[in-house]
């Protein structure tokens, strides 16, 4: 039986100790960073390696930025 690694979108979310990088659906954070920028750097690297998306949440918890890495299933026409 072949085990297939799923591509999880990476979320940068506010955390009581700074900012957390969390894979979509994960209860625990992958890592906790003191600054949002350092969390974004790690989340971007993971998303690039997995060919998934990185979603950055603001302090209010709402998504403020979204980047797709890898093949876009819906590329822009033109």
DSSP string covering 7-41, please? ---EEEEEETTEEEEEETT-SS-SEEESSHHHHHH
pLDDT score at 4: 45
Looking at residue 73, the DSSP 8-state letter turns out to be: S
The DSSP bridge partners found for residue 14 are 19
Whole-model pTM: value is 0.82
pLDDT in tens for each of the 78 residues of the chain? 554 456 899 999 999 999 999 999 999 999 999 999 999 999 999 999 999 999 999 999 999 999 998 766 666 676
pLDDT score at 7: 83
**Domain spans, the chain:** 10-68
pLDDT score at 16: 96
């Amino acid at each position: 039986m072949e085990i297939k690694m799923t591509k999880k979108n990476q979320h940068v979310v506010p955390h009581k100790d700074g900012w957390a990088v969390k894979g979509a659906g994960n209860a625990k954070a992958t890592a906790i960073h003191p600054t949002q920028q350092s969390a974004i750097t790690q989340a971007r690297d993971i998303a690039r390696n997995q060919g998934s998306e990185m979603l950055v949440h603001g302090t209010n918890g709402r998504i403020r930025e979204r980047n797709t890495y890898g093949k876009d299933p819906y590329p822009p026409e033109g």
